[in-house]
Amino acid sequence: MTVQTEQTKQTEQQHFERTIGHEQRIEPRDWMPDGYRRTLVRQIAQHAHSEIIGMQPEGTWLASAPSLRRKAILVAKVQDEAGHGIYLYSAAETLGVDRQDLTEQLIDRRQKYSSIFNYPTLSYADVGTIGWLVDGAAICNQVPLCRSSYGPYARAMIRVCKEESFHQRQGFELLMTMMTGTDEQRAMVQESVDRWWWPSLMMFGPPDDASPNSAQSMAWGIKRHSNDELRQRFVDMSVPQAEVLGVTLPDPELAWNEERGHYDFGEPDWDELSRVIRGEGACNDERVARRTQAHEDGEWVRAAAAAYAQKQAHPVVEERTA
Ligand SMILES: [Fe+2]
Ligand SMILES: [Fe+2]
């Protein structure tokens, strides 16, 4: 390496570190270390895939929503998730990767999506519980990402979070309506919360001491809080909401700890999380198969869009005959 290129590299590295140190944003035009770029691509792609796969569990209830109002709310929510996927794929593309390639990596199972979407939705109460707990956990994870050091990711998160807040409220409102209904409806809500509570806690990832990449992500300002901090925040937020709803969270160890100023809670089943991440959850195969089918069904749309774009770029000048 020549003296000049060595100096340029040092200046770029210093500029990157200063930008991060001053809590300013890294933009696509800026130099960034390979590891920073790779970490962001992995995280943003995984996030985009989660939004798109996340349409499936609730999407199955679209055709059997109990009223037109509930159907309209659910359609809006599922459609929002598609939009979140699109913002995030666009953010990933600013890092020099291709959306088509990311989709293929999802289908080939080389890239992951959130473990939570590998659980089945067994009743309409699950639509409410997913909104309340799953979108609630997503909000805890995503609000700090609005301050992420990578500009396009942080900006995408601002809009995503506004919509997630609607998702959580519609879920809570649905559960509240059911809780003021019949005994059977209350039992449906409790049964649903019993199934979703623990998987929601797992959404924050493994415990901090088993999460080796977290420290580097935090040093780069990609991540702002550790998995355990965010999990605690979610528990503290959810317990009073469960009391308002009148549901019991299925954890006998859940208790207010005066000294810590937080709720104590039990240990999630980390083996279950590992199994689901490995692809052995109840719905992994079904989710990826559905996504693959949708991708294949969309082939003609992509081909038509590409042909149209090509035509716009190189218009054929028709020759006129006199
Ligand atoms: Fe979303
Ligand atoms: Fe959502």
Whole-number Å distance, alpha carbon 38 to ligand 1 midpoint, is: 23
pLDDT tens for 23-49 read 999 999 999 999 999 999 999 999 999
Ligand nearest the Cα of residue 131 is 2
Whole-number Å distance, alpha carbon 256 to ligand 1 midpoint, is: 30
pLDDT tens for 139-192 read 999 999 999 999 999 999 999 999 999 999 999 999 999 999 999 999 999 999
- The overall average pLDDT reported for the chain is 94
> How far from 51 is each of 135, 243, 319, CA to CA, in Å?
11, 29, 48
Q: Are 74 and 127 in contact (CB under 8 A)?
A: yes
pLDDT tens for 85-129 read 999 999 999 999 999 999 999 999 999 999 999 999 999 999 999
CA separation for the pair 237, 136 (Å, rounded): 9
Rounded to two decimals, the pTM is: 0.92
Query: What are the helix and strand counts (H, E) for the chain?
Result: 14, 2
Whole-number Å distance, alpha carbon 84 to ligand 1 midpoint, is: 5
Return the pLDDT at 204: 96
Q: Count the residues in the chain.
A: 322
CA separation for the pair 6, 28 (Å, rounded): 22
Return the pLDDT at 211: 85
| Domains of the chain by start residue, with CATH | 9-267+277-290 (1.20.1260.10)
Ligand nearest the Cα of residue 137 is 2
Ligand nearest the Cα of residue 51 is 1
Phi/psi region, residue 254 (left: phi>0; alpha: psi -120 to 50; beta: rest), is beta
Whole-number Å distance, alpha carbon 258 to ligand 1 midpoint, is: 34
Looking at the predicted structure, is the pLDDT value of residue 193 above 80? Answer: yes
Looking at the predicted structure, is the pLDDT value of residue 314 above 90? Answer: no
Looking at the predicted structure, is the pLDDT value of residue 322 above 60? Answer: no
Looking at the predicted structure, is the pLDDT value of residue 203 above 70? Answer: yes
CA separation for the pair 288, 108 (Å, rounded): 9
Long-range contacts formed by 7-10: CB under 8 A, 24+ apart: none
Whole-number Å distance, alpha carbon 81 to ligand 1 midpoint, is: 4
Q: How buried is residue 157: exposed, middle or buried, by Cβ count under 10 Å (0-12/13-18/19+)?
A: buried
Ligand nearest the Cα of residue 159 is 1
Looking at the predicted structure, is the pLDDT value of residue 1 above 60? Answer: no
Which token pair is 32? 């960034």
Ligand nearest the Cα of residue 84 is 1
Q: Are 15 and 31 in contact (CB under 8 A)?
A: yes
Whole-number Å distance, alpha carbon 254 to ligand 2 midpoint, is: 26
Q: What SS3 state is found at 264?
A: strand
Helix, strand, coil percentages in the chain from 3-state DSSP, rounded to 5: 70, 0, 30
Average pLDDT for 13-17 = 92
Whole-number Å distance, alpha carbon 232 to ligand 2 midpoint, is: 20
Q: What SS3 state is found at 277?
A: helix
Whole-number Å distance, alpha carbon 7 to ligand 1 midpoint, is: 43
Weakest-pLDDT range from 69-83, 214-228, 282-296: 214-228
Which token pair is 173? 């409102």
Q: Over the range 110-149, which residues count as b (16 or more CB within 10 Å of their CB) and which as e? A: ebbbbbbbbbebebbbbbbbbbbbbbbbbbbbbbbbbebb
